[in-house]
């Protein structure tokens, strides 16, 4: 079987998580551990993490992965979380990451929007000076 041609530089998923357990998305420790587990279960390689606890509640954070990043912003007062998965390459299983967050946050409904990021051929054609290794 012929390998399909990759036409984009990256892949970007936007997740809208509704009906999350308020207690689970209000504190940094649980949100951070959950996003880290989602990254691990997806096959991503974690490089760094940075999270911020808002007062009185809510969390924003990023798990930087070799393949790009996973981010989250929570609004416990609405039982809502916004999540982005941005990846490069073919080795990440986003379905596993989604299932981890759905289970951890006891989410009632998830809406997912997908985007290809960066037209690979256009980027190559517009590159002014190639990088050398």
Predicted confidence at residue 132, as pLDDT, reads 75
Residue 16 lies in a domain: yes
Residue 83 has pLDDT above 80, yes or no: yes
- pTM, to two decimals: 0.88
Residue 3 lies in a domain: no
Q: For 1-11, how does the pLDDT look when each residue is reduced to its tens digit (9 = 90+)?
A: 444 456 899 99
Predicted confidence at residue 123, as pLDDT, reads 85
Residue 60 lies in a domain: yes
Q: Look up the CATH number of the domain holding residue 52.
A: 3.60.90.10
Annotate 44-73 with three-state secondary structure. Answer: CCEEEEEEEECCCCCEEEEEEECCEEEEEE
When mean pLDDT is compared across 30-34, 56-60, 64-68, 127-131, the lowest value belongs to 127-131
Read off φ and ψ for residue 93, nearest 5 degrees: -100, 95
Predicted confidence at residue 119, as pLDDT, reads 87
Cα 30 from chain centroid (whole Å): 16
Q: What angle is formed at CA 60 by the lines to CA 116 and CA 76, rounded to 5 degrees?
A: 110
Predicted confidence at residue 3, as pLDDT, reads 45
Catalytic positions, please? 68, 73, 88
Q: What average pLDDT does this structure show over 33-57? A: 97
Q: How many domains does the chain have?
A: 1
Residue 54 lies in a domain: yes
Residue 133 lies in a domain: no
Residue 49 has pLDDT above 80, yes or no: yes
Residue 52 lies in a domain: yes
The whole domain housing 35 covers 9-126
Residue 121 lies in a domain: yes
Q: For 50-59, how does the pLDDT look when each residue is reduced to its tens digit (9 = 90+)?
A: 999 999 999 9
Residue 1 lies in a domain: no
Q: Which residue has the higher pLDDT, 90 or 96?
A: 96
């Amino acid at each position: 079987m012929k390998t399909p041609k990759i036409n984009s530089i990256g892949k970007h998923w936007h997740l809208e998580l509704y009906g999350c357990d308020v207690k689970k998305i209000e504190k940094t420790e649980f949100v951070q551990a959950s996003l880290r587990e989602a990254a691990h279960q997806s096959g991503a390689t974690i490089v760094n993490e940075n999270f911020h606890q808002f007062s009185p509640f809510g969390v924003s954070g990023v798990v930087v992965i070799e393949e790009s990043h996973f981010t989250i912003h929570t609004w416990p007062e609405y039982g809502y979380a916004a999540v982005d998965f941005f990846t490069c390459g073919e080795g990440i299983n986003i379905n596993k990451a989604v299932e981890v967050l759905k289970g951890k946050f006891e989410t009632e409904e998830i809406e997912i929007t997908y985007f290809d990021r960066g037209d690979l051929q256009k980027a190559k054609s517009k590159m002014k000076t190639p990088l050398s290794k």
